[in-house]
């Protein structure tokens, strides 16, 4: 799912292409992509784009007369910039938005079509805000208050859109590695020092990736938005050496996501397991890297 750095890159690339220009037409390839009926989509045609903004992980086009287009890309949705007049052709194409200088194409890979478009009036825009705080503007006390509001694992808290805005699975892995915290540590067990380190890691990590990706977006439209980047420290790097200590990166797979971490930097050498795997393997689950390596050696020897 595109997260704050990726969405910021989209906004950087879109701004010179659409702001101040009229939306000339919209073609829906998948009617279900449009999730609202009032105001009608036709009401947006011909209106100028006044600005762009983010509501959590939603991209908002602010049009004339207090009308808004709210696009949520979900997990597999992506934006493409194409020549003027381009129409949906592929089975992954969801819709096209025509502007004088080009066409914005929304695609969504996979069979689970979750990406959405809402057309809303100004009074209803707040209904699409999940409510998480802007972590780049929040000071330490506000960050700590949001983090401690409910007891969850710190991984879940970072990725909860009602707690923090724009952080997902990929960048939460990077943040937790930078803070040297276990993703499964509970928020009510965090010390003041750990919260301060987590706040610093959150702002530093996100700003670094935003700066990098928006700089690239000023040169060319971001066509390869991905949660797996080779320069990431831990996310998507299972089995590869930690850039800090060289320990092989470990992961926990759950649902359609995976949680990546460095045992040496984040968990004191302890291996983490999801509940189902822990129950299945019981005492056979290796608790440390040394146990894991010992079993691998025994398997090779056998």
**Does one domain contain both 160 and 112?**
no
Structural domain range at position 164: 140-217
User: How many domains does the structure of the chain reveal?
Assistant: 2
Which pLDDT belongs to residue 282? 44
With respect to residue 223, please indicate whether it lies within any of the assigned structural domains.
no
**Backbone angles phi and psi of 118, in degrees to 5:** -120, 140
**Does one domain contain both 11 and 111?**
yes
- pTM listed for this prediction: 0.90
Q: Which two tokens stand for residue 186?
A: 């509970």
**Does one domain contain both 61 and 12?**
yes
With respect to residue 249, please indicate whether it lies within any of the assigned structural domains.
no
CATH number, domain with residue 152: 1.10.8.50
With respect to residue 294, please indicate whether it lies within any of the assigned structural domains.
no
**Does one domain contain both 148 and 118?**
no
**Does one domain contain both 30 and 95?**
yes
With respect to residue 134, please indicate whether it lies within any of the assigned structural domains.
no
With respect to residue 192, please indicate whether it lies within any of the assigned structural domains.
yes
CATH number, domain with residue 84: 3.20.190.10
Which pLDDT belongs to residue 298? 53
With respect to residue 283, please indicate whether it lies within any of the assigned structural domains.
no
Q: Cα–Cα distance between 58 and 74 in angstroms, integer?
A: 9
**Does one domain contain both 18 and 123?**
yes
Which pLDDT belongs to residue 288? 52
Among candidate residues 170, 169, 172, 160, the one with its CA nearest the CA of residue 131: 160
pLDDT tens by residue, the chain, 302 residues: 899 999 999 999 999 999 999 999 999 999 999 999 999 999 999 999 999 999 999 999 999 999 999 999 999 999 999 999 999 999 999 999 999 999 999 999 988 889 999 999 988 999 999 999 999 999 999 999 999 999 999 999 999 999 999 999 999 999 999 999 999 999 999 999 999 999 999 999 999 999 999 999 999 999 989 989 999 999 999 999 999 999 999 998 876 678 999 999 999 999 987 655 444 444 444 455 555 454 444 555 44
For residue 180, the tally of other CB atoms under 10 A from its CB is 16
Which pLDDT belongs to residue 27? 97
Which pLDDT belongs to residue 293? 52
Which pLDDT belongs to residue 123? 86
**Does one domain contain both 145 and 79?**
no
Which pLDDT belongs to residue 111? 80
């Amino acid at each position: 799912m595109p997260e704050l750095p990726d969405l910021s890159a989209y906004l950087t690339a879109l701004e010179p292409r659409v702001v101040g220009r009229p939306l000339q037409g919209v073609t829906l390839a998948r009617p279900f992509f449009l999730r609202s009926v009032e105001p009608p989509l036709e009401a947006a045609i011909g209106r100028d784009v006044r600005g762009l903004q983010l509501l959590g992980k939603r991209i908002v086009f602010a049009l004339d007369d207090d009308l808004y287009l709210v696009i949520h890309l979900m997990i597999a949705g992506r934006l493409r910039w194409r020549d003027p007049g381009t129409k949906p052709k592929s089975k992954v194409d969801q819709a096209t938005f025509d502007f004088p200088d080009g066409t914005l194409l929304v695609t969504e890979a996979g069979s689970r079509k979750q990406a959405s478009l809402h057309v809303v009036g100004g009074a209803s825009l707040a209904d699409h805000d999940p409510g998480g705080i802007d972590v780049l503007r929040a000071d330490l006390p506000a960050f700590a208050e949001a983090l401690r509001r409910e007891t969850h694992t710190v991984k879940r808290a970072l990725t909860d859109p009602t707690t923090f805005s724009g952080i997902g699975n990929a960048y939460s892995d990077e943040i937790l590695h930078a803070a040297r915290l276990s993703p499964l540590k509970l928020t009510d067990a965090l010390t003041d020092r750990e919260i301060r380190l987590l706040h610093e890691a959150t702002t530093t990590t996100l700003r670094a990736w935003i700066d990098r990706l928006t700089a690239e977006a000023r040169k060319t439209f971001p066509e390869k938005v991905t949660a797996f980047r080779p320069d990431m420290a831990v996310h998507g790097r299972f089995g590869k050496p930690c850039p800090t200590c060289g320990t092989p990166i470990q992961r926990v797979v759950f649902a359609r996501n995976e949680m990546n971490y460095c045992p040496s930097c984040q968990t004191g050498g302890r291996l983490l397991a999801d509940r189902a795997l822990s129950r299945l393997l019981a005492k056979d689950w290796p608790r440390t890297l040394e146990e894991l390596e010992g079993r691998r050696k025994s398997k090779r020897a056998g």
